[in-house]
Structure 1
Amino acid sequence: MSKRVDVLDAVKALAKRAVPHAVVRGMSTDEAKPMAVDPLGMVIVRSGDPGDPEVDLCPPTYWWEHRIPIELAAYATPARTSQQVLDEMLTGFDRELRADRTLGGLCLYLDAEAPSDGESEVTGGKAVGWADFAIIASYSTTSPLG
Structure 2
Amino acid sequence: MGSKAEQILQALTALLQAISGPTVLRNAALPTRIPPDGVIILRDGDPGEPEQSLGGVGGCYYQHSVEIEIIIQHGDADQRQSLFDDLLLAVAGELDADSTLGGLIYGMTYGRPAIQLEHEEGAAPLLGGVIELTLDYETASPIS
Gaps of 5+ in 2: none
1:94 to 82, 92, 95: 92
TM (norm. structure 2) is 0.89
3-state SS in 1 of match to 2:44: coil
Q: CA deviation at 1:82?
A: 1.6
Q: 2:105 & 2:26 partners in 1: Cα distance? A: 20
Q: Does 1:11 align with 2:12?
A: yes
| Aligned partner (choices 40, 43, 50) of residue 43 of structure 1 | 40
Corresponding position of 1:26: 26
Distance in 2 between residues matched to 1:79 and 1:124, nearest whole Å: 16
**Are the equivalent residues in 2 in contact too, given 1:75–1:85 (CA < 8 A)?**
no
1:15-43 superposed Cα distances (whole Å, 9 cap, x missing partner): 112x320000114xxx2222221122001
Please provide the CA RMSD for this pair.
1.8
Sort the Cα spacing of 1:81 and 1:46 in 2 relative to 1 into closer, same or farther, 3 A: same
| Other-structure match for 1:105 | 103
- How many residues were matched structurally? 142
Relative distance call for 1:38 and 1:12 in structure 2 (3 A) is same
Tell me, in whole angstroms, the C-alpha distance in 2 between the residues paired with 1:59 and 1:36: 50
Q: Which moved more, 1:73-82 or 1:3-12?
A: 73-82
Shift of 1:136: 1.2
SS in 1 for 2:59: strand
Contact 1:72–1:132 (CA under 8 A) maintained in structure 2:
yes
